[in-house]
Amino acid sequence: MSKGLAIFTSGGDSAGMNPAVKCAAEYAARMGYKPWVVYDGLRGLIDDKFAEADKALMSGILHRGGTFLRSSRSKRFFDIEFRRQAFENLQKRGIEKLIVVGGDGSFRAMNQFYADFGIPFAGIPATIDNDIPETDYCLGVDTALNMIRQSVDSIRDTADSFSRAFVIEVMGRHCGYLAMVSALACGAEICLTPELPYNLDSIGERLRADFKRGRNYILAIVAEGTKMGDYLTRWINDTIGMEARLTVLGHVQRGGSPTVRDRLMAYKFAVGAVDALERGEKDSIMIYRDGTYATKPIHEVCDSRYQLDPTVLRLCRPLCQ
């Protein structure tokens, strides 16, 4: 019987998960594994929601956003008895290796599972927040950025037509990556993120000088982690004296067909994950750093802090002063 390998998605969904699952399953089959998928993330591991990853199941999923396997955040997985149930589900199918597509919480859960039952795993970073340490890129980020870019470009049309200010809140949890990159890509006048100190007085002076030179509208991008959306909107309205509106983009940023970049990154991470398991690595996370694909043991990833690109930080600094 060929050795079993199961793939699943876990935590917040992101575009690129489906191409990662498809490529991992197909490449694993070529490498002599019997590929399986698990529905509903960690919950499905416990509740025995497995399916053979055959050609029919892997067809027609590449272009779809989200994860066709569905995802979950499972509290039960913290309990050894439920983890044992998950292990028994793997054992009865001869599944000896796992690939998890998700975030650092899911990687930690797999690390615990490896410590308990010795099932090697490889992790593929996927979250629109782009906040997993040691990798410059997580699946879903490019698709989310393009979704934000399209929305902000549309908002600019109405902002200009009506001489208004728009504050646009973007996701990212505690990380300001989406806010900073979209502020740069969309030419926003203001960007507030948790990583950079801001000064409303100097922002105000800058805006007034811009108005004197003929500027008639403002775009401000705010990371959700700052919780500044409402406040900044009122401040522009009351202190700066320009009619202001708040747009919270919300979960639209998590959906949509994966961009070419996300599909290709998904393939490279997926092949890297199968290769890492084949080489005998037990607890590797795929990373993309300075243009190179590599693997790192989970403790090196989860014990470090995420560092934002210093050039992006430098370019954004003038937008919060």
Q: Is 256 in the site for ligand F6P (CB under 6 A)?
A: no
Q: Which one-letter DSSP state was computed for residue 126? A: B
* Nearer Cβ to ligand F6P (171/286): 171
Q: Burial, 310: exposed, middle or buried (Cβ in 10 Å; 0-12, 13-18, 19+)?
A: exposed
Return d(Cα 131, Cα 215) in angstroms, integer: 35
Instruction: From 74-82, 168-176, 283-291, 307-315, give the range in contact with ligand F6P by CB under 6 A.
Output: 168-176
Q: Does residue 12 interact with ligand F6P by CB under 6 A?
A: yes
- The DSSP secondary-structure symbol of 43 reads H
Query: Which CB sits closer to ligand F6P, 34 or 254?
Result: 254
Mention every residue, 6+ apart, whose C-beta is less than 8 A from residue 310: none
Is 290 a known active-site residue?
no
Instruction: Please give the size of the binding site for ligand F6P, defined by CB under 6 A.
Output: 9
- Outline where the chain has alpha helix (H): 17-30, 41-47, 80-91, 104-117, 141-162, 177-186, 200-212, 229-235, 260-278, 298-302, 310-316
The nearest distance, CB 244 to ligand F6P, in angstroms, is 23
The answer to whether residue 65 forms part of the interface with ligand F6P (CB under 6 A) is no
Q: Reduced to 3 states, what is the DSSP secondary structure of residue 8?
A: strand
Sign of CA dihedral 43, 49, 55, 58: negative
171 binds ligand F6P (CB under 6 A): yes
Q: Which residue is nearest to ligand F6P (CB)?
A: 171
Candidates 13, 47, 129, 131; catalytic one:
129
Contact status: 106 vs ligand F6P (CB under 6 A): no
Helix (H) or strand (E) holding 102: strand 95-102
Please identify which residue in 18, 71, 111, 127 interacts with ligand F6P, judged by CB under 6 A: 127
Per-residue interface string for the shown chain with ligand F6P, residues 196-225, x marking contact by CB under 6 A: ----------------------------x-
* Residues engaged in binding ligand F6P (CB under 6 A): 12, 127-129, 171-173, 224, 254
Point out the residues that are catalytic.
129
